[in-house]
Structure 1
Amino acid sequence: MAARGWLWLCLGAGLGSLVLGQTAVVETPENSTVNLPCKAIASSSGTPRRQEWKFHGDGSTVLFYHDNAFTDGYKDRAIFYPGEIHLKSVTRKDSGTYTCEVLSSDGKFSESQVELVVQVPPSKPKAQVPSVVTIGTKAVLKCVETDGNPRPTFKWFRDNIEMPADPQTSTLFKNSSYSLDEKTGVLAFEPATAFDAGDYYCEAVNKVGSPQKSDIVHMDTSKVNVGGIVAGVVVLLLLLGLVIFGVWFAYSRGYFSKGKE
């Protein structure tokens, strides 16, 4: 029978009612053991006749305990107790929602959920910083970190000085115009100024482990080279004139008509 087949049979036949338990949150460091409680047992009236567990994470749902047995991925690292599941040496992939479903002897269904957060310290982030930005244009710097759980917050430093979220609150940064999103790690200058040149690095922080710093990356600023742009346009026009002259000269000499004979 499908994972929830027995539930739908029960409810479809009018044999029981649905009782939802509260969602508990359990946090534990990576590689530790953890107990996931089944509060649905307490909500169930009568002796539990059947109990199943499923896991939802990374956009998919897996039934890992049913018919009094664990599925292959859990056989060697989980222990079943009527009131809880014991997991050994959890990893970051175990973070997600665990649902305990109970069918009692009197035909009533109840379920409860546990949100498991496997704590992982942040790894060394990468500072994505452009080497040169043009003064007066937008410049976007990104701090990238993919391991930390809970997701870290981010700080940015220029020339070893922490940048405040609002540059107007600091005498050192009030000449800059930027926004800093501590949740995403995005630092955006709108627009960039000559003052914004310097050595940049970012830092990832969560409540697990120590803060991690990226490598230092230097960013220069440059003015718009109006003279160079004008010179480039002039050269392009000269080349275009030479091409037009060459085509006209070829026609005037009859080179194209001779080729057709």
Structure 2
Amino acid sequence: MFSNQEVRSSYILAIGLFYFVDFGNPLTVSVEGGRYSLSKEVVEGTNPLLTCQYESDNSSGNKRIEWSYISKLQPKNRTLIVWKKVLNAFVDKFALSEHQASLRILNISRTLAGKYICGVSAPNEVPSSGTGFYNISVVVPPAKPICKYRTLVVPRRSRTGFTCFSNDGIPTPKYAWYRDSVRLPLNRSTNPLTANMSYVYSEVTGTILFSRFTKYDEGKYSCVAFNRVGEKNCSSFYVRSGHDRGQMSHILVAMVSLLYLIINVT
């Protein structure tokens, strides 16, 4: 049996050994830029690389690599992608890089946005595991917008309008209108070239309205849908002003009268 004094001395010695013995560097895991976690924005259709690195003194020990994924569409479900290697169900979507534990996403789509977790395990080390995280957002350039108009010959001093719409894009696209290849300002009074025009338009809806179409509004029009990823434009179209409605009614009356005379003379 050990005396209380011997037990106390052994305990103090153990504490001293814990503080002074060099156990080496523990296993650490980091993602891009040496961070523990990172939010990253990628463009749909690209092949982003999710870097995952680990460090430890035991470079020869076996390391087990895991990658899992939590979808933004199903945040309560966690899917295992890699267990030492890419699982068969995901070989067409993911590939392990030669750079340690890094993962490449193949032809990423918006459905693959979410949280990606890199895990490295080393059973013979303390601590025996580490993780790194990516929050992946997928952005999409606008699709080619479609422009619509009522007529290409607008009665002078009448109301008319054009619409522009892109059915895809993340973030949601905004719109800009151009006349003769020059972008129209939202506030037309700020530019001498547009001060006499009669339009108003919204970059959110893509609709441009003319309260009183005149020769100052004539020209070749096009619309651009844009977001921070890219931009696309619709096919351009030329719009001109015609006779106003009063003149057209007078012309119609004159034509009817002339036709009446011709019929009666013959």
Per the normalisation by structure 1, the TM-score is 0.51
Question: Alpha carbons of 1:32 and 1:22: their partners in 2 closer, same or farther (altered >3 Å)?
Answer: closer
1:141 and 2:156 matched: no
Measured in 2, the distance between the counterparts of 1:152 and 1:192 equals 28
Aligned AA for 2:147? A
Distance 1:51 1:72, change over 3 A: closer
The answer on 1:159 being equivalent to 2:180 is yes
Distance 2:101 2:246 in 1: 69
| C-alpha deviation, 1:84, in angstroms | 7.0
- Measured against aligned partners, the alpha-carbon deviations of 1:83-134 in whole angstroms (never above 9, x if no partner) come to 97623322343562225499xxxxxxx996603335x555543322332556
**81, 86, 90: which one aligns with 1:74:** 90
Give the conservation status (yes or no) of the 8 Å contact 2:68–2:80: yes
Q: Secondary structure of the equivalent of 2:159? A: coil
Does the 8 A contact of 1:177 with 1:191 survive in 2?
yes
Distance 1:171 1:227, change over 3 A: closer
Inter-partner Cα distance in structure 1 for 2:225 and 2:188: 20
Sequence identity, in percent? 16
Partner of 1:169: 190
- Residues 14-59 of structure 1 show CA distances to partners (whole Å, capped at 9, x for unaligned) of xxxxxxx976123357332321769xxxxxxxxx9x9842212xx5
Task: Show the counterpart of 1:18.
Answer: none
Q: Which residue of 1 aligns with 2:222?
A: 201
**Alignment RMSD, CA only?**
4.9
Q: Call closer, same or farther: CA 1:25–1:200 in 2, change over 3 Å.
A: same
Counterpart contact for 1:144–1:185, Cα < 8 Å: no
Structure 2 distance, partners of 1:124, 1:74, is 32
Does the 8 A contact of 2:197 with 2:217 survive in 1?
yes
Corresponding residue number in structure 1 for 2:208? 188
CA distance in 1, matches of 2:87, 2:173: 33
Deviations 1:175-208 (A, max 9, x none): 23433333x3613225242233332112344555
Q: Is the 8 A contact 2:164 2:175 kept in 1?
A: no
- 3-state SS, counterpart of residue 168 of structure 1: helix
Match of 2:151 among 99, 113, 131: 131
Task: Name the TM-score, length of structure 2 as normaliser.
Answer: 0.50
Bigger Rg, structure 1 or 2 = 2
Unpaired runs of 5+ in structure 1? Answer: 1-20, 39-47, 103-109, 232-261
| Residue 164 of structure 1, CA deviation | 1.3
Name the counterpart of 2:59: none
1:179 maps to amino acid: V
1:215 matched residue in structure 2: 235
2:3 corresponds to: none
